[in-house]
Amino acid sequence: MTNPSKPPSPPSSDALASSVGRTPFFAYSKEGLSSSADQALSFPNPYGLTVRYAMKACPTLSILKLFHSKGIKIDASSVHEVERALRAGYDYEDISLSTQELSEEFKGLVEKGVKLNCCSLNQLRAYGEAFKGKKGFKCGIRINPGVGSGGFSKSTTGFSKTNVGGPTSSFGIWVGSFTDGSIQQIIEKYGIEVERIHTHIGSGSDPEIWKSVAVKSLEFAEYFDTVTSLNLGGGYKVGRNPGEVSTDLQECGGTVKTAFEDFEKKTGRKIKLEIEPGTFLTANNGALVTRVQDIVETSDYKFYKLDAGMTDILRPSLYGAIHPCTVLPTSGADREKEEVVIVGHCCESGDLMTPLPGDPEALGKREVTKAEIGDYCVIDGSGAYCSAMNTKNYNSFPEAAEVMVWEGGGEVIRKRQTVEQQWENEI
């Protein structure tokens, strides 16, 4: 009998490591994913809401199925992601496709019900060519409204590797193509019906920015009277580290709701809202569990080397992302703290888990519990763009396993890759 006042704790790292063979592995919290889904689904909206999971954040089958069971739909970023969502039980109609590479397969997918957002003038032309004269086909257009938020380590050019709007961003149709009439020309030429406006610029956590993004995006909806829904994309900031703010969806959504209501008063049109969180739904609901497998020192630094690295988490190397790192000693004795640099297992000096905050090129010293070889080191905030985005198989390290955990239990949702699977397609 379990004591009802004390819930059973999730399985220990040891239990999980033995269930998947060894570290490293990703562990996701079922309760956490479910509660983030509930928060997204309660985003304020006056005339209807569709929440789409930006599945590129973490496309593992069990996670897709969990969100499916909550009534969340899909934002796919390639035709291949569409295939993956279908495999998880989604219908064609549940999937919106906003892609940087519009492969040929898009025609068949749109015919079956996938909703395409054209992300460039060429994509709009391709859509027009494929569906001109055909009744009932409607598309969305993704517009780069000329402003962007999100991203950090902004240089003087305004470029940042996580910025998705403004003149340094290639995503979406540039606002200038709207003001100079190029979009309208293509639409008229093919008789395209624009049903959806999409602007994913990374709205951050400031309610005022949310409102201005909504107002700006609604201007495009106003221009096309066939538009029935507006998709504000994702990019909601999530605090991974102490002191960082997370987006309050109720607060930000409140200002968006007002913008939609004002639009209705002005135009009489009730526009439906779509949002596409990836990070918000998964980032803080996943962690990478690793072990410290070596400790070395130079004149200036002490390094902990993990049995994982850019082959599992690339964000610190790619754009200087800061992830919390916690040493969990395997032997019970009280340990002091020390300042160390944590690195990955690849023969690559860029395989750095602790870049200096604000300077991705420099080593950052991190104060952690003093580790011995064999201790666990947990990298938190690793549910989004980690398992999904890394230098998989570099140095021939096999892809890590994934487990889902909940109070009292856990299960393997993706097995560790075998070393043979890495060369199975080689001839």
Ligand X SMILES: *Cc1c(COP(=O)(O)O)cnc(C)c1O
Active site residues: 347
Copy the structure tokens of residue 97: 């496709």
The one segment of 128-136, 230-238, 284-292, 328-336 that binds ligand X by CB under 6 A: 230-238
210, amino acid identity? W
Closer by beta carbon to ligand X, 77 or else 391 = 77
For ligand X, which is the closer residue by CB, 27 or 119? 119
DSSP for 145-165, please give it.
-S-----SS--TTS--TT--S
Q: Which amino acid is at 381?
A: G
Rounded to a whole number of angstroms, the minimum distance from the CB of residue 243 to ligand X is 20
Q: In this structure, are residues 47 and 270 in contact, taking their beta carbons and an 8 Å threshold? A: yes
Q: Does the bond joining 24 to the residue before it have cis omega, within 30 degrees of 0?
A: yes
Length reported for the chain: 427
Q: Which of residues 160, 229, 279, 285 is near ligand X by CB under 6 A?
A: 279
From the CB of 203, what's the least distance to ligand X, in Å?
9
Distance CA 373, CA 303 (A): 12
Q: With contact defined as beta carbons under 8 Å apart, do 216 and 147 qualify?
A: yes
Which one of 20-28, 259-267, 277-285, 300-308 is the stretch in contact with ligand X (CB under 6 A)? 277-285
**Residue window 351-370: x/- pattern of binding to ligand X, with contact defined by CB under 6 A:** --------------------
- Residue with smaller CB distance to ligand X, 150 or 364: 150
Contact assessment for residue 76 and residue 67, using Cβ atoms and an 8 Å cutoff: no
Residue in 280, 376, 397, 406 binding ligand X, rule: CB under 6 A: 280
Enter the tokens of residue 251. Answer: 């607060």
Regarding 217 and contact with ligand X (CB under 6 A), the answer is no
Binding mask 153-192 for ligand X (x = CB under 6 A): ----------------------------------------
Please pick, from the candidates 11, 277, 344, 360, the single residue that binds ligand X as defined by CB under 6 A.
277
Decide: helix, strand or coil at residue 363: strand
List, in sequence order, the alpha helices (H) in 30-168: 30-41, 61-70, 79-87, 106-112, 121-131
Least Å distance, CB 281 to ligand X, is: 8
Q: How far is CA 38 from CA 43, 129, 228, 230, in A?
A: 9, 40, 25, 21
Near ligand X by CB under 6 A, which window of 43-51, 222-230, 278-286, 387-395?
A: 278-286
Least distance to ligand X, CB of residue 384, Å:
6
Contact by Cβ (8 Å): 171, 142: yes
Selection from 147, 273, 146 nearest residue 221 by Cα? 273
For ligand X, the closer of residues 114 and 341 by Cβ is 114
User: Does 234 contact ligand X by CB under 6 A?
Assistant: yes
Determine which residue in the list 276, 307, 351, 399 makes contact with ligand X, applying CB under 6 A. Answer: 276
Size of the site for ligand X (CB under 6 A): 17
Question: Rule CB under 6 A: is residue 287 a binding residue for ligand X?
Answer: no
Interface with ligand X, residue 67, by CB under 6 A:
no
- 422 and 372 Cβ atoms separated by less than 8 Å: no
Question: Under the rule (CB under 6 A), what is the footprint of ligand X?
Answer: 54, 56-57, 75, 77, 98, 200, 233-236, 276-280, 384
